[in-house]
């Protein structure tokens, strides 16, 4: 049963140097045809699995950049979504956005179309770092976009921040955090840079031209992040996410709860009816297949019971609340300690996990080395 729907908009007016998602420059792309193909893909999936979409709680527009579309294109996209996806249980409808593309007209189209949450890619409030990572917005664009969004009616606004950037100092990171928190938004996400293949940064790294902060400095940046968010009254609910009460992202939690979601669009990934799948990435190929009333899937994998157990552990441990013994046993039909008892015992001794009657979770120390902990649960 799909709790969420992810819809991929692969168009960008600029390509960020760290981004490895499926994306293309907006200019000269068949954007309108792509939007119509999305509608056909969604309709085909709903017809194939009519019972899987009756309890959808969240919809998430990601990219690429959804706000690269014009206001009219946004309006058409949202109309298509409402036509094919049952909306009666949708609580959270998010769109990613670039601050310098978020005009009042686009904001109004999003709000009128049912979007009730914005997730803005800000990354840094340092102009030099923004240029270095390939961003084109300014701080003024951020302030104006947030003000305009509030005037249109948005109250649930999140911004993404990044640390561990090339040449980034602790002073720059602290300034970004303080500037971001001064906006008094209900949700913040903060991610360390990961140099991914097929990105500008990867090419620079391979040539020895990408100068990153040391691992110790990056760990210190994460420590400062935790301190600043706590001081601002924002609760950490996942390794990289912080929110006021009532503003935890439901869509994000679907991934970490290892629940099912549908993914639509070129290069999108989904987890539906026990199958993890990915779509064709090239835009024209995607449109061609979707228009023929066939789902444009390039790869699919039936998740085994063992894989589900592993995913339940390493995804669930990203959450501050961790993995519940009861929830695990309900899903897996066996107690957690049957398979993972020895691993849990050792990680508790190492100070990386803590457990009580309810379940297990990362300690504060464990959050700094989360990937090493997660690896222990993979065969």
pLDDT score recorded for residue 42: 97
Share of the chain above pLDDT 70, in %: 100
pLDDT score recorded for residue 214: 95
pLDDT score recorded for residue 244: 97
pLDDT score recorded for residue 171: 98
Short-list 144, 151, 85, CA closest to 120: 144
pLDDT score recorded for residue 60: 98
Short-list 254, 272, 252, 253, CA closest to 262: 272
Distance CA 153, CA 127 (A): 29
- Residue 293, sorted as left (phi over 0), alpha (psi -120 to 50) or beta, turns out to be left
Rg (C-alpha) for the chain, rounded Å, is 21
Short-list 16, 33, 152, CA closest to 95: 152
Quickly state the pLDDT bin for 198 (edges 50, 70, 90): confident
> Which string of b and e fits 25-38 if b means at least 16 CB within 10 Å?
ebeeeebeebbbbb
357-370 pLDDT, tens digit each: 999 999 999 999 99
pLDDT score recorded for residue 202: 84
What 8-state DSSP symbol labels residue 169? -
Domains parsed from the chain with CATH numbers: 2-256 (3.80.30.20), 323-375 (1.10.10.920)
> Which string of b and e fits 255-288 if b means at least 16 CB within 10 Å?
bbbbbbbbbbbbbbebbbeeebbbbbbebeebbe
Quickly state the pLDDT bin for 148 (edges 50, 70, 90): very high
> Which string of b and e fits 70-99 if b means at least 16 CB within 10 Å?
bbebbbbbbebbeebbeeeebebbbbbbbb
Using H for helix, E for strand and C for coil, what is the string for 203-259? HHHHCCCCCCCCHHHHHHHHHHHHHHHHHCCCEEEECCEEECCCCCCHHHHHHHCCC
CA atoms within 13 A on the CB side of 267: 16
What 8-state DSSP symbol labels residue 99? G
Decide the pairing of beta strands 156-163 and 117-123. Answer: parallel
pLDDT score recorded for residue 164: 96
pLDDT score recorded for residue 20: 73
pLDDT score recorded for residue 201: 87
Res 344 pLDDT > 90: yes
Average pLDDT over residues 93-101: 96
Average pLDDT over residues 312-341: 96
Q: Higher model confidence: residue 16 or residue 185?
A: 185
Average pLDDT over residues 65-80: 97
> Which string of b and e fits 217-227 if b means at least 16 CB within 10 Å?
bbeebbeebee
Burial of 190 (0-12, 13-18, 19+ CB in 10 A): buried
Least-confidence region, from 228-232, 302-306, 334-338, 375-379: 375-379
pLDDT score recorded for residue 18: 80
pLDDT score recorded for residue 96: 97
Share of the chain above pLDDT 90, in %: 90
pLDDT score recorded for residue 19: 83
pLDDT score recorded for residue 21: 77
pLDDT score recorded for residue 213: 93
pLDDT score recorded for residue 14: 84
Q: Is the peptide bond before 45 cis (omega within 30 degrees of 0)?
A: no
pLDDT score recorded for residue 365: 95
Average pLDDT over residues 2-16: 93
Rounded (5°) CA angle 187-318-329:
125
DSSP SS3 for 92: strand
How many CB atoms lie under 10 A from the CB of residue 155? 12
11-52 pLDDT, tens digit each: 998 878 888 777 788 888 999 999 999 999 999 999 999 899
Average pLDDT over residues 256-275: 97
Short-list 360, 332, 334, CA closest to 348: 360
Res 301 pLDDT > 80: yes
Average pLDDT over residues 168-187: 98
């Amino acid at each position: 049963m799909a709790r969420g729907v992810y819809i991929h908009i692969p168009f960008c007016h600029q390509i960020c140097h760290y981004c490895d998602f499926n994306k293309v420059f907006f200019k000269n792309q068949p954007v309108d045809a792509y939007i119509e193909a999305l509608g056909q893909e969604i309709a085909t999936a709903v017809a194939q699995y009519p019972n899987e979409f009756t309890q959808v709680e969240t919809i998430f527009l990601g990219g690429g950049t959804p706000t690269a579309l014009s206001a009219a294109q946004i309006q058409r996209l949202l109309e298509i979504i409402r036509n094919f996806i049952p909306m009666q249980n949708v609580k959270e409808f998010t769109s990613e956005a670039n601050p310098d593309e978020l005009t009042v007209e686009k904001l109004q189209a999003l709000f009128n179309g049912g979007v009730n949450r914005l997730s803005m890619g800000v990354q840094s409030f340092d102009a030099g770092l923004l240029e270095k990572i390939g961003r084109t917005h300014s701080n003024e664009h951020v302030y104006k976009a947030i003000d305009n969004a509030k005037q249109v009616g948005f109250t649930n606004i999140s911004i993404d921040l990044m640390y561990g950037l090339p040449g980034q100092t602790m002073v720059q990171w602290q300034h970004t955090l303080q500037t971001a928190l001064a906006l008094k938004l209900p949700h913040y996400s903060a991610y360390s840079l990961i140099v991914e293949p097929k990105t500008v940064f990867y090419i620079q790294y391979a040539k020895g031209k990408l100068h990153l902060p040391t691992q110790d400095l990056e760990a210190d940046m994460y420590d400062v992040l935790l301190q600043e968010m706590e001081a601002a009254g924002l609760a950490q609910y996942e390794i990289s996410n912080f929110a006021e009460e009532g503003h935890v992202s439901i869509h994000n939690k679907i991934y970490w709860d290892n629940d099912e979601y549908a993914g639509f669009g070129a290069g999108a990934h989904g987890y539906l009816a026990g199958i993890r799948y990915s779509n064709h990435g090239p835009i024209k190929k995607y449109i061609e297949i979707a228009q023929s009333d066939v789902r444009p899937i390039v790869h699919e994998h039936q998740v085994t019971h063992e894989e589900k157990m592993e995913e339940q552990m390493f995804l669930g441990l990203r959450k501050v609340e961790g993995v519940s013994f009861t929830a695990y046993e309900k899903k897996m039909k066996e107690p957690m300690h049957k398979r993972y008892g020895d691993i849990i015992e050792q990680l508790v001794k190492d100070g990386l996990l803590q457990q009580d009657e309810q379940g297990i979770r990362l300690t504060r120390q464990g959050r700094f080395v989360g990937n090493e902990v997660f690896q222990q649960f993979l065969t």
